[in-house]
Structures are given as C-alpha cells and as structure tokens.
Chains A and B, each alone.
Chain A
Amino acid sequence: MNYYLGVDVGSVSTDIVVIDDSETVVDKLYLKTAGRPVDAIKSGMALLKQHLGDIPISGVGTTGSGRQLADVVVGADVVKNEITSHGIAALKYCPKAKTVFEIGGQDSKIIILRDGIIVDFAMNTVCAAGTGSFLDRQASRMNIPIEEFGDRTLKSSMAVRIAGRCAVFAESDMIHKQQLGYSQDDIINGLCDALVRNYLSNVGKGKEILPPIVFQGGVAANKGMKAAFERELGYEIYVPAYYDVMGAIGAAMMAKTESGRKKSTNFYGFDMVDFDYTTKSFECSGCFNMCEIVEIYVNGNIGARWGGRCGKWSTGKNVAL
C-alpha cells in the first residue's frame, strides 16, 4: 500500500492528512499554527509517526499560505495554491458540486465549479469580517469556547440584526446589542446572519451560486453559519466529514497524481522530525529594490532562500541532506 501526505499550513491551523491509494483518509491532524509554522509541521509529523509508525510515504503535497515553507520542511512533490487544492477535494466528496464556500482563519473564498472543473473563484480582499479569526475573537470576548460557539445558535429563537459590513463595526454593534439585554444566543445567531450577508456580498459578489453547495474550512464547524447560509440562499448546504482539512486532502490527492507520474518522491522521510530548522531574514542592499530576503537553514545548511527580485539570492530549494 502507498501513502500520500498532504500538508496545509494556514494562518490559524496547520492541517496534515495521510491518504492511501484509494484516496481514503488514513489519518488527519488539525493543529494550531500559533505563529510558528515550522514547529507546527514538526510536531504534526511526530504525531503521525506515533500514530502510524514509519509508513512509506510515496508523495507529498503542500498548500496554504505557508506552502513554500512546508515544502522546505518536509520535501514536497507538489506545491499548490489553496484554491485549486480546496476545489479538487470538494469534487472528491461531492462530484456534482457547483459551488464551494471555504472560510478559514484569515481568508474566505468562493469557488465556482461546473462539470467537475473550477471555472471561477474569488477571495476576500481587504475585509476580515466573517473569517475564523474574527469568530475566534468574538467567542473569547464572550467567554464561550469556540467549539460551542456555533451550537449556541441552535438555542436561539431569533437573530438579532448585527451590522456585518466590517469586523470593527460588527463588534461594536454586538456590544451595543448585548448592553440592550439581548441574549447571547440571539446575538451569536445574528452575527452568523451578518457574516453570511457580508460573505455573499463581498466574496460572492457577481458569482452564480448554484447547488450543490459544499461548505468547508474551519468555520464550517460552526452550525450557526451553515444554518445562516441555508436561510439566506434557500439551498441545502453540504458540510463534508473532513471539512476542516480539505485543503490538505486536495494537496495529498495532487501529490498522488504527481508522484505517480514521476515515480519518486522528494519527501525527506520522518527523520525530518529531528532536523533543526532556523530562519533568518535581512534586507538586501544591492540595489534600490531593498528586497527582504528570507533564509531557511536545515541542520545548519542553507535550505532555501526567497524574496529577492533579481535572482541573486534565489538558490532555489537545494537542501543538502
């Protein structure tokens, strides 16, 4: 049996999955990135090794905003953007999907699929309202564990109208409503409605939203958000079982295709758990561009360098192991 690894390093969570030849998920991890992506990947890989032993990994795919870094840390065969990864994974679990809502820690995306291919997409631009980070912040402000945040809406009988145009205004409006005496459940319910309106008018603007609709990303755990989408659109929303690691699954699926094609893998092996990774950054003074160069050292050797415009610093990825 061959196994394939998918690593999705996002702003808030680092997700790792292992799939087998039949693309069945063998193991999945959802870890907090906590501002230290390299540590998150290392501890994730250590956990996997503990769970599964030293299984043979035949291909590795990385995605998410930390995909390049993840590539340096584990050695990837495919480094893909998160839109393609999420689209591919959604099609795996819902082959007829026409729309994908993906809401993560910092990003929210909409992916439009027709006949099994991505035909259009959009990402949030300047607004963080409706993303996981904002919900996290509101949950901790209201002293409710984020895991229970969405369930509270089920106890609500009405949705309080919250201004959801902007995260800052949404928060002050929530506080205003709380001071008027509305119940927490109704406020959270109203917040979900506001965020859905915000998502549809910002990210979903001008897109043709047709069912079946797949809702994935960390925020899909929030039952209130799912219900609010259903109320607003009038369609049933499908949340796949592995909604929180779909990006990683997509990356693993692409790794399977790629490593099958070239019949080898760049994976460093589980030994990488004990590797020493350090990063340094500096501003190049070679010209007026003043590029910020990042260097990543693996066991004391230069592993990768990027950030330069002229190519002087880009050694590419050349980990000497």
Chain B
Amino acid sequence: MKVTFPHMGETYIALKGFFEDLGVDVVIPPECNKKTLQIGVKYSPETACLPLKVNIGNYVQSIENGADTIVITGSCGPCRFGYYGILEKEILRDMGYDVDMIVFDPPSEDIGRFISRIRKITNNKPVYKVADSLYKGYRIAKELDDMNKMMFAIRPREIKKGEVRRIYGEYQKEIEKAHGTREIFKVIDDNKKKLKDVRIDADRKVLKVGIIGEIYTVIEPFVNLYIEEKLGDMGVEVDRSMNVSEWIETNMFSKLLGFNSERDIDKAAENYLKTAIGGHAKQCIGNAVLYSRKGFDGLIQLLPFSCMPEIVASSILPSVSRNEKIPIMTLVLDELTGESGYITRLEAFVDMLGIRKETKVE
C-alpha cells in the first residue's frame, strides 16, 4: 500500500512524518504547479470550487508515481468540502484509476470509525503507537507554523533582499530528503536557526496585514499566488488567520473533548453573524474583528470563486470595515486569476495602507 494525500501548504510534512513513523509508505504529490491545475481543471466539473480541482491534480500526479491509496479528511457538511472525498473518488474512477480512498471524518463524529480507519492504513499498529505519532505530527505542524511566523516577520525587515527566499529554498530541498518525525524536526530546527541569523532592520516600520477567508486558499501558496511572499517583499508583515496546527487542535482534539477552542472568535463575530453558516465564514468575520482590535493595518480576504460561505462573509465585511475602522480587500481566486491584476491590487492596497498610517501618525 502506498498512501498519498492532497496538498494544503506545508501540511504534507506533518502527514509524512506521521505516516512514516508508523511504517506506512507515502507518495508526496509534486508541489502544486501549473500541470497539477491543468489536470484538475480538465477532469473536474467546471463549477466545482478550486480546491477540488487542485486535489484531483495532486492525486493524478501521485498515482503516476505509484500511489494506490488516497487519504483525505472529511467533514460532515460545512460546505461542499463535505462531498470532496466521495466526488473525487467518482472522478478518479471515471478516469480509470482504481484507487482506495479513505476519508477521515473528524474523530468527534465517530471515534470508533476514525480509529478503525487509521488501523486499516497502519496495518493494525497499536493504538498508543498511533496516538504517539499523531501527536508528533501535530507537533510538526506547530513547528511549521512557528517557522512561518518567523519568516513573516523577517521578510519585510531583511537587510539583504531575498535572504529568506534563499534559505527557504534550501530548506525545501532538505525537507524532501528527511524521513520520519525525528529527521523532519531536525530540518525545521536547522532552518529556524538559519532564519534567526538573517540580518534584519528591527526599527523598520512595516505594515501588518492579516489574511482571512477560506482555509485552503489562505494556506496553499500556489493557489493564493504566493501572497505571503509577495506582501513580504512589499514590506508587509503578514499573519495567517488560520493554520494547520490550529485546525488540528479544533477538529481533532477540542471537539473530541467537547469544548470550543474558537470561543473568542465566535464572540468577536457575534455582532455580525450569530450562527455558523458553513465553511469558515464565521471565523472569517470573527478574525477580522480580532485583527482590528490587535491594531493591524489592513486585512485581505481570500476565497475560491463560488465559495458560498465566504461570499456571505464578503458581504458582511464592509460593515466590519466601517465599524472596526480597518480596510479590508477581498480577492477571489480561481484557475483564471491573472497574476498581474492581482499584483496591482496588492500594490494599491499596500500603498493605501501606508499613506493611511502616515496620515494617522501625523
């Protein structure tokens, strides 16, 4: 059995460590690229949302490299993502690929089924071993998020432009060669040390922009056209409203134990949206309010074209912007998104925030 899974930013590193510790053979799809998207667009329904198309591309590229089992998380209906596992299996079958698809619904939905599916993949490894690897995988996600935070802070302040990009490029080559959580931890740790040595101008005045919106487009850089890097190069420190370790905390641990780890976000959203309407719409609104309280200069909402929950959120955001006095720009992403128009909007937004901040100070 050779297991693969779709990409979502750097999540694959945590998953790779988890599976390899348990002795499972893993095939990592090539980093998302134009070819991935081409394959996905060709074989997916045209009106499906962008993440599904990229997923399909990931699967096909992995299958070409020998994968025969696909693992994807499921969820009981926050949005169309709830159907991804089933729909993707159908699409692959129509394409003539006979692969096993294992959907992991959050353990809080049915813990028994969750464990039995894990046992299936891991060839009946003892539960304590699985739990241990799962925890290590989560720790990797946590380390990665921490490493990204460092890069977000250094990029706009680096004295020699492009230093972070160079270090990150080396790290990407290293991480590819690392196997098992122990080696992965080491590569991440080494990279963090290198990042610490980057010479920065600590006094430089940088703008702070929060990235809110739909989780996949926020986390997957290929899909958001490397927004974090672009903004960093424009002298902006970004912050991701959602990241993988928090997603694991919420969906794997908190819900299972029956408490709400997003209470502050829910509370912040209360004046604008009282109920969860699917996807991460409520989190998007809540995070927007929280960012404005933290003194961020502006926010960018990202969503895949036709994402219903985020469309609702985007119609609420103008009131958030007015009441909380924070500029918010919405960017919609799909396979037709042109990069130059995207850059123009980012540049104009950053200019606007810069001038706004200067006049405020005066």
Contact = CB atoms under 8 A, between A and B. Distances in A.
A288 B30 contact: yes
B91 to A, nearest CB: 22
B153 to A, nearest CB: 20
B166 interface: yes
B21 to A, nearest CB: 27
B28 to A, nearest CB: 12
A84 B34 CA distance: 31
A121 B31 contact: no
B35 interface: yes
Contacts of A80: 347, 351
A81 interface: yes
Interface string A117-131: 111110101100000
Given A206-B318, A311-B162, A84 B33 contact: no
Interface stretch (B114-122, B180-188, B203-211, B338-346): B338-346
Interface in A90-123: 107, 115, 117-121, 123
Contacts of B315: 206
Interface in A135-189: none
Interface string A189-232: 00000000000000000100000000000000000000000000
Contacts of A310: 165, 169
Interface in B301-324: 315, 318, 321
B327 interface: yes
Contacts of B31: 288-289
How extensive is the interface on chain A, given as a class? 20 to 34
B356 A84 contact: no
A290 B351 contact: no
B336 interface: yes
B341 A123 contact: yes
A121 B35 contact: no
A123 B344 contact: yes
Contacts of A121: 348-349, 352
A309 interface: yes
Residues of B contacting A: mostly? helix
Interface string A288-307: 11100000000000000000
B351 A288 contact: no
B359 A65 contact: no
A244 interface: no
A120 B359 contact: no
Given A288-B30, A290-B35, A311 B348 contact: no
Given A290-B35, A310-B169, A117 B355 contact: yes
A83 interface: yes
Nearest to A316: B161
Given A83-B348, A126-B336, A288-B35, A119 B166 contact: no
B43 interface: no
Contacts of A15: none
A85 to B, nearest CB: 9
A83 B327 CA distance: 16
Contacts of A289: 31, 33-34
B202 to A, nearest CB: 24
A83 B356 contact: no
A102 to B, nearest CB: 12
B33 A288 contact: yes
A82 B332 contact: no
B247 interface: no
Nearest to A307: B339
Contacts of A126: 336
A289 B162 CA distance: 19
Contact of B344 (A82, A119, A309, A311): A82
B83 interface: no
Interface centre among B35, B315, B340, B352 (most CB of A within 10 A): B352
Contacts of A123: 341, 344-345
B135 interface: no
A121 B226 CA distance: 22
Given A117-B356, A119-B352, A290 B345 contact: no
A118 B350 CA distance: 11
Given A82-B344, A123-B344, A309-B226, A118 B351 contact: yes
Contacts of A206: 315, 318
B327 A311 contact: no
B158 to A, nearest CB: 13
B335 to A, nearest CB: 12
B136 to A, nearest CB: 29
Interface of A: 65, 80-84, 107, 115, 117-121, 123, 125-126, 206, 288-290, 309-311
8 contacts: A81-B347, A83-B352, A84-B347, A206-B318, A288-B30, A290-B33, A310-B169, A311-B165
Interface of B: 30-31, 33-35, 162, 165-166, 169, 226, 315, 318, 321, 327, 332, 336, 340-341, 343-345, 347-349, 351-352, 355-356, 359
List 7 tightest A-B contacts by C-beta distance, closest first.
A83-B348, A81-B347, A84-B351, A288-B33, A206-B318, A118-B352, A81-B348
Given A118-B356, A120-B321, A288-B33, 18 more contacts: A80-B347, A80-B351, A81-B344, A83-B351, A84-B347, A118-B355, A119-B327, A119-B352, A120-B327, A121-B349, A121-B352, A206-B318, A288-B31, A289-B31, A289-B33, A289-B34, A310-B169, A311-B165
